Structure 1
Amino acid sequence: MTAELTRGQNHPLPRARLEIRVSAGTPVVAGATLGDENGTIHGVEWVAHPGAPVLPGLEVSRQAAADHRLAVDLDAVPDAVHRVSVLLALPVAGQGPARFGAVAAPFTAVTGLDGEEVASYTLTGLESESAVVALELYRRQGGWKVRAVGQGYAGGLAELLADQRLPEAHQLAGGIHEAVARGLARSVPAPPARTADGDRSRPAAPAHGPDHGTAPQGATGRVPSASPYDPPAAASGAQPADGQGEHGTQRPYPGGPAGADRPSAPAGGAIDYSHPRRQSAAPPPPPPAAPPAEPGRPARPVAGDATGWSMEERLYNQVWGMFEDLARTTAAYRSAVDFADSRREKELDQVLSDPRSRIGGQGDAAREAARERYEQLVSRAGEVLDRDVAQLLAEAEVVEPALPAAYARWDNPVWHAYRVPMEIPMALRLGDLHLPEADRIRVPMLVRLPLERGLWIDSGRSASSDGAVTDSHEMRRLGLETAVAHAARLLAVYPAGEFTVHVIDPAGAGTQALAPLAQGGVLAAPPARGAAGTADVLGRLTERVDLVQMALRGGAPDALPPGLDTSQQLLIVNDFPHGFDDRAVNQLRYLADEGPAVGVHLMMVADREESAGYGPLLDPLWRSLLRLTPVPDDHLADPWVGHAWTYEPPLVPPGSQVLQQVLAQVAAARISWHR
């Protein structure tokens, strides 16, 4: 029976091999410290964190995530260790919350490898703290116990580690946050979570146990009842404050199209992703009723069965619900296989530890029995996975044809009926994601608009996951073609005159790949070449960012120079760092950091290794961009359990003219708009 602990309570641990599961609702850093009988940490080698995740008897997550599973083997912990403290911290990088009081209370649980909970603790009462010691496992009279601690620190990880008397507390805290920042740079932007009743604006409490018998939400543990990705007060139905959500008063947004109103984010706060023109005159329409199912079978899936104010929003929530379902059911399968493997090892260890059963028929029978039990557990887990995957595959087959152009693949027939839209969509498809356990399912990777982060199309050799593409010139060509496809999508989903594309190609190496944009008449000007052209484009965009920022800070968003282009701006940079001096590099960093908030976005086609000559100067630039690849590669991670997802770019089918046809309509609409 699970012991639900309150702060200060303890509970005995009946076994040595455990998992500590964390559900926070927002990405957090999870780590652990090893302490002696006085709780003292004797050095950085006594701390497990994303940069050094494995210690004897302990393994923690390698990145910040909303859900964590920490593996603990108390029998393998060194004898000098008397305390294992589990710590949580909010990342310092990105646009996330800066204190635990701004998010739902994190939930922690100590479980066996079979998923059965031993003890749980919800960390309530946190306010200004950004780091907290959640649980403590400690030795007592020859056994181990768990204590609910909940000790928070407003000074963050550095203060927490210093309180445990670690001399290198500040240096280690900086190293941890650096490792986390590298991990966040490869994470898929976190979508809204999904509830068991189909409402994908809030997370659900997943099923427990190794089989996870009902819904596809497979990971065990509990998730808070509200999500930090929701608009303010969305979970309760209350009206958001002025300018904070989709129902509040709309204020002018100078970084967007002229005359367009968008909700503005508070200074220094997170970007508000609410739809710029969503109405609140009527309640959300109910999702369509599912066709009746055959007895004993699940209901047939329906496109748009999530909640939302429009079919577009319902499809968006449904897609990301599928993404979360697949992540969690895969996590459940992997956990069940790990449990079966550990159980087999334990049974074999017991057989080998007894000389009487080590050899002969008795030993062979024990080994065969352990093997059969292992196969039985793995087979049962595989059946559950197959069931959930089949259900998700059926859902994908009805959702994909129903997607609007902004969410659809280039081979979707919706592009044949394409017309330049009148409104900006909620999101854009940047590719597909899949896992090896469910290779048949391709989940669209949807990112909200306007873009919060710039894009980095990696043209390095490391972008090839299968090693099939090794020629550096070929990778540069594929990288630029991928960038052109992304830019064409952005141009296609924005209304006429509300999105402008600039290109910097210093050496003219991308002339052929850039032809669809350059010859299609959709660029603001021909691609800039040479040092002078590069300096001119960077100077104009940097000046635009400065002007809009000054207008916003001065409280006069309309006080902009006449003729200033207020549309969203995209700068494509090819073949970086060739042709860029130190001033140009600093301007790129400035645009990557400050541009998205005022409507200037960066898309770089570059090989990071080739920029190594600049040293660590460019590390913050790479981390601020979302890395995508021109070939399939498993470099992206989900925000729940940290799976390595294989990303596939949205390439135009060979021989298809859909991109040219779409750009022709965009160019015609652009000409009419300027008239």
Structure 2
Amino acid sequence: MTAELVRGQNHPLSQVRLTIRVSAGVPVLVGATLGDENGTVHGSPWVAHPGAPAPPGVEVSRQAVAEHRLAVDLDALPEAVHRVGVFLALPTGSAGPPRFGAVAAPHTTVESHDGTELACYTLTGLDTETAVIALELYRRQGAWKVRAMGQGYATGLPALLADQGLQDAGELAAAIQHTTAHTSAPFSLQAVHDAPAPQDSSAHGAPGPTGPYAPDRREHPEPAPSCEAQNPYDPQAPGAAPRATGAPVDYTHPRRPHSAPQPPPPASAAAGDRPAPPVAGDAVGWSVEERLYNQVWGMFEDLARSAAAYRSAVEFADSRLEKELDQVLADPRGRLGTEGDAAREAAHSRRAQLVDQARAAFDRDLAQLTAESDVVEPALSPAYARWDNPVWHGYRVPTEPPMALRLGDLHLPESVPLRIPMLVRLPLEQGLWFDSGPEASADGFPDPAELRHLAMEAAVALAARLLAVHPPGDFALHVIDPAGDGAAALGTLTRSGALAAPSATGAAGVAEVLERLTRRVDLVQMALRAGTPEALPADLDTARQLLIINDFPHGFDERAVTRLRYLADEGPGVGVHLLLVADRGDAAAYGPLLDPLWRSLLRLTPVCDDHLADPWVGHAWTYEPSLVPPGSQIVQHVLTEVARARTKRK
């Protein structure tokens, strides 16, 4: 049965040798971008388009026509490729339609090599777009899926390619359009069983992750491979066989020594019904830590897109029901009597069937992600793990800082049992703010004092985690508590010795701490700009600093507020970070003066609240802070180890 996809929905692929048919009604050019695990396309050889040697495993049409057939062999793709984006673009400089909204919606179908239809998607809702990513084939947990994209670009193919990370997007788009306009040879999908096998090669390097959410390349014993020298798509790269234009698709994997492609394993035919068992760390990365980080972000994205597909299907079913009911009411003969009742009942039945199908697909994805979470959570390091994870009981003080930190958990209303770790990169690029105001609780927390206490406990738990995951002496902690209201929550830090100096109280204490940290920021900035870090005073603590401020803005005058804003803006760049516990309503007297401060901080809540959005779909995710289980002494144990290691280091 063919899966009819809606925008954002994905579907598992039970075959690896595929044919993608595109029917557009008017001549269009079709190509494919090959991306790494983050979707980044590393240069023009990563784009399959007319007039260029086809990458291994991909064959596209040579001209702009109304009907296209693309051949793809997922097993033949180089290991660096994790995503294949199929794009459509209207030819330029022709008398054709100026935009996709002026023609019938293009239709795409994914078939197996024997012609069995696996999935289809109609690109509805297009308007001013002249280029669009229709489908995305992507690899997760060793299995491939297809996702309906429908992501259009009004400014055409240059914008589409630039969004994939190409530096020379404009030049490549112009070359594609020019080649298509001057190509008249008909396209034929040749047989692939007789394709010659290229020589085996093991020199292909996988490009490292890039992009706004991808980790930086860190120092590791193995050298980073050079994408330029070992580009798997470069016909002149080591191990890549030269290929003439118009030759059949080479479905032989470049790493395989045999001369003919092997048939897919028997289990692959049932991959859609029995997905591969999840494995912790099954993602690209230079270390186990980085692979787990990328895997968590992959789970986050998959859940966001699956939920978007489900919600979109429900909205479509509702709109279809409303339209059908309007049609019944518009006919006077159908408003009354059994005929009208039957029509309304049939409309509701069709709506329920569509919703049930969408829910079944979403539940399938949710079950897979839950199974993945069950193996990933126990494998997480302390920086990524919840406080109830057994990894904390075997805690050892680290010798180097982690690449990311867990701030809490995220979930959607449709996936309440499944929590996705909220990971942020270190060092922190912005300050943090635990909102202790009444708006922090969607249900209206009954006791404001208790809410403020919970906010301070959440801040202390986060500070303890930061201390625990850094080497001894690499992270220092300061606390401003003007009225002393946070003494109970701070007890864990003071008893363990993690808080070297007492909390600053009163206006004088606030001024002294802020002046000291402001001086540190100024000195480090000047030394770095001058290139003379050795000129820093000997008594200056060069470790990263975290300043916890409880009950802001109490105890702050205008001068202190100005210094705090300076620390929020300039501090993160030189290792000074803020963690505020505050009710924004208490600072209303300052008016718009503090608006830039609140905007510069990442808002967190001490109780569950749906105020965070993902970067892909924009869902409102419910945030849940990472708190210590009631009665647990694990934080006290961990901080005692931290204090002991710091003492030995001195």
SS in 2 for 1:522: coil
Contact 1:328 1:641 in 2 (8 A): yes
Which of residues 322, 335, 341 in structure 1 aligns to 2:318? Answer: 341
- Quickly say closer, same or farther: Cα 1:227–1:416, change in 2 above 3 A: farther
2:257 is matched with none
Contact 1:505 1:527 in 2 (8 A): yes
SS in 1 for 2:512: helix
Distance in 1 between the 2:166 and 2:602 partners? 22
Does residue 207 of structure 1 match 2:147? yes
1:443 is matched with 420
Distance in 2 between the 1:490 and 1:499 partners? 8
Does residue 485 of structure 1 match 2:485? no
1:632 is matched with 608
List per-residue Cα deviations over 1:176-197 (Å, max 9, x = no partner). xxxxxxxxxxxxxxxxxx9822
Distance in 1 between the 2:268 and 2:292 partners? 22
- Quickly say closer, same or farther: Cα 1:455–1:85, change in 2 above 3 A: farther
Matched residue type, 2:319: S
Structure 1 position 118, deviation (Å): 4.5
Distance in 2 between the 1:542 and 1:85 partners? 56
Does residue 277 of structure 1 match 2:283? no
Which is worse superposed, 631-640 or 549-558? Answer: 549-558
Matched residue type, 2:450: E
The percentage of counterpart residues that share the same residue type is 62
List per-residue Cα deviations over 1:507-549 (Å, max 9, x = no partner). 1111111111122211241111111111111011111111111
1:357 is matched with 334
2:402 is matched with 425
Contact 1:522 1:670 in 2 (8 A): no
Does residue 604 of structure 1 match 2:604? no
Matched residue type, 2:282: D
Which of residues 575, 584, 589 in structure 1 aligns to 2:551? Answer: 575
Matched residue type, 2:123: E
Distance in 1 between the 2:648 and 2:537 partners? 24
Distance in 2 between the 1:229 and 1:532 partners? 51
Structure 1 position 551, deviation (Å): 1.8
1:169 is matched with none
Structure 1 position 453, deviation (Å): 1.0
1:393 is matched with 370
Distance in 1 between the 2:539 and 2:319 partners? 68
Distance in 2 between the 1:618 and 1:461 partners? 19
Structure 1 position 357, deviation (Å): 1.6
Contact 1:5 1:119 in 2 (8 A): no
2:643 is matched with 667
2:122 is matched with 116
Structure 1 position 205, deviation (Å): 9.1
- Quickly say closer, same or farther: Cα 1:239–1:443, change in 2 above 3 A: closer
Structure 1 position 374, deviation (Å): 0.2
- CA radius of gyration, larger in: 2
Q: How does 1:375-394 map to 2 (within 5 A)?
A: 375-394=352-371
Distance in 2 between the 1:450 and 1:272 partners? 14
2:499 is matched with 523
- Quickly say closer, same or farther: Cα 1:199–1:383, change in 2 above 3 A: closer
Which of residues 590, 609, 626 in structure 2 aligns to 1:614? Answer: 590
2:436 is matched with 459
Distance in 2 between the 1:406 and 1:313 partners? 12
Matched residue type, 1:371: H
List per-residue Cα deviations over 1:391-435 (Å, max 9, x = no partner). 101100011111111111000000000011001111111101111
Structure 1 position 282, deviation (Å): 6.7
- Quickly say closer, same or farther: Cα 1:318–1:345, change in 2 above 3 A: same
Distance in 1 between the 2:593 and 2:100 partners? 35
Matched residue type, 2:341: D
Contact 1:429 1:447 in 2 (8 A): yes
List per-residue Cα deviations over 1:226-274 (Å, max 9, x = no partner). 988999xxxx96999xxxx99xxxxxxxxxxxxxxxxxxxxxx999952
Contact 2:100 2:129 in 1 (8 A): no
Q: TM-score, normalised by structure 1?
A: 0.63
Contact 1:3 1:118 in 2 (8 A): no
SS in 1 for 2:443: coil
Does residue 642 of structure 1 match 2:621? no
Distance in 2 between the 1:530 and 1:366 partners? 73
Distance in 1 between the 2:568 and 2:318 partners? 46
List per-residue Cα deviations over 1:152-175 (Å, max 9, x = no partner). xxxxxxxxxxxxxxxxxxxxxxxx
Matched residue type, 2:304: A
Distance in 2 between the 1:270 and 1:542 partners? 30
Matched residue type, 1:534: V
Structure 1 position 380, deviation (Å): 0.2
- Quickly say closer, same or farther: Cα 1:505–1:642, change in 2 above 3 A: same
2:542 is matched with 566
Distance in 2 between the 1:569 and 1:276 partners? 22
- Quickly say closer, same or farther: Cα 1:278–1:558, change in 2 above 3 A: farther
- Quickly say closer, same or farther: Cα 1:238–1:147, change in 2 above 3 A: closer
1:69 is matched with none
State the aligned residue count. Answer: 462
SS in 1 for 2:479: strand
Structure 1 position 338, deviation (Å): 0.3
- Quickly say closer, same or farther: Cα 1:596–1:199, change in 2 above 3 A: farther
Structure 1 position 310, deviation (Å): 1.1
Which is worse superposed, 520-529 or 490-499? Answer: 520-529
- Quickly say closer, same or farther: Cα 1:497–1:272, change in 2 above 3 A: farther
1:314 is matched with 291
Distance in 1 between the 2:371 and 2:386 partners? 18
SS in 1 for 2:618: coil
Which of residues 383, 407, 420 in structure 1 aligns to 2:384? Answer: 407
Structure 1 position 362, deviation (Å): 1.6
Across the aligned residues of Structure 1 and Structure 2, the Cα RMSD in angstroms comes to: 3.7
1:473 is matched with 449
Does residue 198 of structure 1 match 2:140? yes
Contact 1:283 1:309 in 2 (8 A): no
1:543 is matched with 519
- Quickly say closer, same or farther: Cα 1:298–1:5, change in 2 above 3 A: same
Distance in 1 between the 2:395 and 2:125 partners? 55
Q: How does 1:67-466 map to 2 (within 5 A)?
A: 116-118=122-124, 146=128, 148=130, 196-198=138-140, 207-208=147-148, 221=151, 274=216, 276-281=218-223, 296-466=273-443
Structure 1 position 5, deviation (Å): 9.2
Structure 1 position 552, deviation (Å): 2.0
Unaligned runs of 5+ in 1: 8-23, 27-83, 87-108, 121-136, 138-145, 151-193, 209-218, 247-268, 285-289
SS in 1 for 2:279: coil
Contact 1:518 1:527 in 2 (8 A): no
- Quickly say closer, same or farther: Cα 1:632–1:640, change in 2 above 3 A: same
Contact 2:436 2:452 in 1 (8 A): yes
Structure 1 position 631, deviation (Å): 0.6
Contact 2:314 2:358 in 1 (8 A): yes
Does residue 587 of structure 1 match 2:527? no
Distance in 1 between the 2:631 and 2:299 partners? 31
Distance in 1 between the 2:470 and 2:161 partners? 35
Contact 2:206 2:225 in 1 (8 A): no
2:88 is matched with none
Distance in 1 between the 2:401 and 2:483 partners? 34
Q: TM-score, normalised by structure 2?
A: 0.65
Structure 1 position 477, deviation (Å): 0.5
- Quickly say closer, same or farther: Cα 1:373–1:615, change in 2 above 3 A: same
List per-residue Cα deviations over 1:94-131 (Å, max 9, x = no partner). xxxxxxxxxxxxxxx9999x9621486xxxxxxxxxxx
- Quickly say closer, same or farther: Cα 1:25–1:607, change in 2 above 3 A: farther
Structure 1 position 390, deviation (Å): 0.4
